Structure 1
Amino acid sequence: MLTALLLALCSIIFLYLSYKYAVGRPAGFPPGPPRLPIFGSYLFMLLIDYKYLHKAALILSKWYKSDIIGLFVGCFPVAVVHNGEGVREILNDQTYDGRPPLFLSKMRDPGDCVRGIFFQEGILWKEQRRFILRYLRDFGFGRRFDQLELIIKEEITDMLDMIRNGPRYEHEHHLVKPGGYRVQLPLLFNPFSANSHFHILYNERLARSEMAKLVKLVQLGLQFQRNADDYGRLLSIIPWIRYIWPEASGYNKLNEANLYVRAYFSEFVDRHIDSYDDCSERNFLDLYIAEMKKGLPEEYGFNREQFIMGLVDFSFPAFTAIGSQLSLIVQYMMLYPEVAKRVQREIDEVVGSGRLPTLEDRKNMPYTEATIRENLRIETLVPSNVPHKALNDTELMGYRIPKGTVIIPSLYAYHMDKRIWSDPEKFRPERFLDNQGQLCLKLDVSLPFGAGKRLCAGETFARNMLFLMTTAMLQNFDYTLAPGDTLPDLTKNNSGLIITPPDFWVQLKER
């Protein structure tokens, strides 16, 4: 009898403690779902929408009738914000400029160190970002630069030649079919975008015959993007899962991609270090090497390992994200052929067919620019932004946020908020035009590149590439359907660290 009573008492205590754990949260923390041991609230999000966690979070927000929800990803407390005012506050308040210690950020470096720019904070992040941005601008990054535009023009010319004449080298078979006019997306655009970016870094670019490693870099970069998610997958909650289910957990694919990307950048960093001459300044890499040799305080981060990861972070969007966004634009041009025709009419009127479009043409092509901006809004490439972290105890939207809380400003929810956009589900470039049909930047309150100190450093480069490549393609080709092809299905797009279309072949027709 006594044993039965003790067992019953223990069961009651266990159930009570389990209940307190499940519903317990810091005082004043936003409302949200319960948590389970080890997993926190992550499993509930997977059950709601395992493919698009940013949509799962938005559904939870509607269930709790709150624009901010609190949940747990493993042991990490997380606050997710779904309205414009809150998103802007997070992006512009340096209190939220920290970065959480997710496993995905640690696994990029041997010994699980965190280096680079994306996942850094404090003085190292400030010094590295300041230095890299300051001097990359001298080589055309983040501003209009005539020499860089000429390089991009040459890259686009090479791309158009490959599209028309088919592959010339073995690695180009991944990009275009023999005979030409049938291309694979999102792979097609990235090597040429990356080559333009690498010209900024080291004042060189690869010939088409030498781009095999670059094509593989793009493939594995996309593999890394696709096999993570907004919250770092289960690997960030229970890292030891990689030893039990290395394939199912995504670790193998992430690690394979990470090793190749790091090796790629290590190779040319070491080549420049070995050939460095302090009497000759060849490119940006030499400027960084010179800074390394000054013996600055260790917390400033000027060393080989930080150099490699800093370049990885600044280059990653150029060889993965830009091509993905361009491919999303292609999807919408195929789904909305009337928009594509209107863009083509504008290209014909402003540019004609005797030359490629230039950045100077952009001011005279408001509908084209509005179309690109609308695609950036409706297909938010980084739906949950890169996760932020509260650096101090603070208050957000009337709720208490403890120091160390992971903060997610949902750019997806912001871009789909009817209170801001009226009809956000519609693809409507006209929303950015005034009554005279001119581009009105005051109407564009979208935040596809974030804002504040954590604003994407490559915004200008990305916008320039999106305009030049989109217009070059539509100037020369129509997107058509070959026998057996179907129109793009947007529900099949992948949601990893960024939104990417699945690999698909597109038929082009000469205009």
Structure 2
Amino acid sequence: MLEFPSITVFFITFLLNCLIFKYFWIEKRGKSPPGPWGLPILGHLPFLGEQPLKTFAKWRNKYGNIFRIRMGSWNTVIVNGYAAIKEAAEKPGDAFSCRPHFTSQRVLEEYNGEVSLAFSSFNDAYLAHRKITSTILRYFTGRHGALTEELMYEEVDVLISTLLKKTKDGPVDIRGDIQHSVGSIIYQILYGRGEDVNENLMLMIKSADDFNEFNRNGNPVDVMPWLEYFMPKRMALYKGMVSESAKSRQPKIKEHIETFSPDKQPRDILDSLLAVDVDSVGNPDITRGRLLGTLADLQGAGFDTTNKALQFLILHMIKYPDIQRKVQNEIDDVVGDRNHVTLKDKERLVFTEATILESMRMKAVAPMGLPKSALQDTELQGYNISKGTVLFFNLHSALYDEEIWGDPDNFRPSRFLDDNNKIDLKVSSRVIPFSLGRRRCAGEPLAKMEIFIMFANMMQKFSFVKPEAEVLDEESVPGLVYSPKPFKVIVKERV
């Protein structure tokens, strides 16, 4: 029998008692949020189940919109409902705008060599970095976004042609085709056009798939950092993925540095990042390397989320053919025989826009967003929140709040239309899949632009029909980005 020295037993007992003391006493001081009982060391991780959103809904019903749990080593607060999320996101002093110092964040910084925009602490450098990124994205999606729009038309035409050829053999799984098309757009916006697009695109898609699979149930090392020393193979795998992703960007960066001309219009986002005069920013933490690291943020966040949002949209069109026909009739009336649906048409395609909003409401692909962290001791809806506490904004709860939506489980795009058949801005503003506050997704304008153009043009060109034997399951598959379950569809050209 294996025996432990008495000093070891004493140390382990002392450590466990300290953890229990901290969990059951320190956590109860003051007016802390209520919450369920958990376990020492593991906290509530064993109780989340395969569908954490359902578990959170159950706890919300019992404890209210603000409840506390413990995720391994981290005190955690789950914020539920639109009002509570909005209050937290817009708290004076940006009290909940920081990021927790997770292990995966540290590894990303080690291999990318710089602080990430998405995962950095909240400070003046972050605000400067975000402002630069937002300005560049506005350039490519706003008045100067003609090249971006034209690229999207080209890619959606390729997608339409591909799907029509594939479906001649019967029902097909189109998820990979949508993924490839969305990835091609993101890649070319970031790095420009060229003969090597397809080869590098496949590497980007593989990287996204690997990351999503690796983080399907979260990264346990993030919430229990000490596991890093007990899971060397898992950590080596994660570091390898991060390293390969970083290496894959270097050839394009090197090529752009060698061919960049500040006097010419930027070819892509990489050119725009190179054009920034870091000395004029007025913040020593804004370096050339940090700005180039934005490529990883936009590539990682902008690709898979848009891809999965479009997949859910198509799934909804298959399941609700009456809604699909209404979208198509509107496009026919507004666009007519014109070859493409354009962004200029968006204002008049109100039901089409309402359908996109409804799909994004029902199936947020990042329903918990990225974790936040309290910058200082503060208060939220009457509860004390200690500095360093991890917070998750349960966006799913806001998107399914019965007090706001009435019948949140029904797919009903008309809820977004006012009496004048316009988009009701007050209602649509409650759709927050990109979160709220100064930590909301910086790539939101690009994602919305891409989703509208691709969806509207597909609806113009063909119909999606459910195969007779197909059983559609709308339940999402949890992961780093939530996905629809596999489904097949018949694609019919509209004539």
Q: Same fold per TM (> 0.5)? A: yes
C-alpha separation in 2, matches of 1:213 and 1:495: 27
Q: Are 1:365 and 2:353 counterparts? A: no
Q: Tell me which amino acid in the other structure corresponds to 1:205.
A: R
Larger CA deviation: 498-507 vs 339-348:
498-507
Deviations 1:198-230 (A, max 9, x none): 44444x2246x8413303312321331343268
Q: Are 1:321 and 2:309 counterparts? A: no
1:51 alignment counterpart = 50
1:491-502 equivalences in 2 (<5 Å):
491=475, 493-502=476-485
2:327 alignment counterpart = 343
1:173 alignment counterpart = none
Answer whether contact 2:334 2:349 (CA < 8 A) is retained: yes
1:361-440 equivalences in 2 (<5 Å):
361-440=345-424
Look up the SS of the partner of 2:471 in the other structure.
coil
2:457 alignment counterpart = 472
* Number of residues of Structure 1 aligned to a counterpart in Structure 2: 477
Look up the SS of the partner of 2:346 in the other structure.
helix
C-alpha separation in 1, matches of 2:350 and 2:175: 26
Q: Tell me which amino acid in the other structure corresponds to 2:80.
A: H
2:287 alignment counterpart = 302
Answer whether contact 1:187 1:219 (CA < 8 A) is retained: no
How far did 1:186 drift?
3.2
C-alpha separation in 1, matches of 2:187 and 2:112: 27
Answer whether contact 1:334 1:480 (CA < 8 A) is retained: yes
Look up the SS of the partner of 1:368 in the other structure.
helix
C-alpha separation in 2, matches of 1:130 and 1:206: 29
Q: Are 1:268 and 2:266 counterparts? A: no
Look up the SS of the partner of 2:76 in the other structure.
strand
Q: Are 1:222 and 2:209 counterparts? A: yes
How far did 1:144 drift?
7.0
2:75 alignment counterpart = 77
C-alpha separation in 1, matches of 2:216 and 2:75: 17
How far did 1:416 drift?
0.9
Structure 1: runs of 5+ lacking an equivalent = 1-11, 167-176
Q: Tell me which amino acid in the other structure corresponds to 1:31.
A: P
1:509 alignment counterpart = 492
Answer whether contact 1:350 1:364 (CA < 8 A) is retained: yes
1:23-422 equivalences in 2 (<5 Å):
23-24=24-25, 25=27, 26-45=29-48, 50-64=49-63, 66-93=64-91, 94-110=94-110, 115-121=115-121, 122-138=123-139, 140-141=140-141, 145-165=145-165, 184-202=173-191, 204-206=192-194, 210-228=197-215, 232-239=218-225, 241=227, 244=230, 254-255=238-239, 257-276=241-260, 282-283=266-267, 284-289=269-274, 291=276, 294=279, 299-304=284-289, 306-422=290-406
TM-score of the two chains, using structure 1 as the length reference: 0.83
C-alpha separation in 1, matches of 2:181 and 2:146: 18
Answer whether contact 1:266 1:308 (CA < 8 A) is retained: no
With over 3 angstroms needed to count, the CA separation of the structure-2 counterparts of 1:185 and 1:89, relative to structure 1, is: farther
How far did 1:401 drift?
0.6
With over 3 angstroms needed to count, the CA separation of the structure-2 counterparts of 1:265 and 1:365, relative to structure 1, is: same
With over 3 angstroms needed to count, the CA separation of the structure-2 counterparts of 1:14 and 1:386, relative to structure 1, is: closer
Q: Tell me which amino acid in the other structure corresponds to 2:479.
A: G
With over 3 angstroms needed to count, the CA separation of the structure-2 counterparts of 1:18 and 1:105, relative to structure 1, is: closer
Q: Tell me which amino acid in the other structure corresponds to 1:497.
A: L
Answer whether contact 1:291 1:302 (CA < 8 A) is retained: no
TM-score of the two chains, using structure 2 as the length reference: 0.86
Look up the SS of the partner of 1:363 in the other structure.
coil
Answer whether contact 2:129 2:286 (CA < 8 A) is retained: yes
Answer whether contact 1:116 1:311 (CA < 8 A) is retained: no
1:477-492 equivalences in 2 (<5 Å):
477-482=462-467, 486-491=470-475
How far did 1:488 drift?
2.5
Percentage identity across aligned positions? 26
C-alpha separation in 1, matches of 2:170 and 2:165: 8
Deviations 1:37-67 (A, max 9, x none): 332222222xxxx222233222222232x21
How far did 1:135 drift?
3.2
Look up the SS of the partner of 2:78 in the other structure.
strand
C-alpha separation in 2, matches of 1:272 and 1:317: 22
Look up the SS of the partner of 1:395 in the other structure.
strand
Answer whether contact 2:89 2:437 (CA < 8 A) is retained: yes
Look up the SS of the partner of 1:32 in the other structure.
coil
Look up the SS of the partner of 1:79 in the other structure.
strand
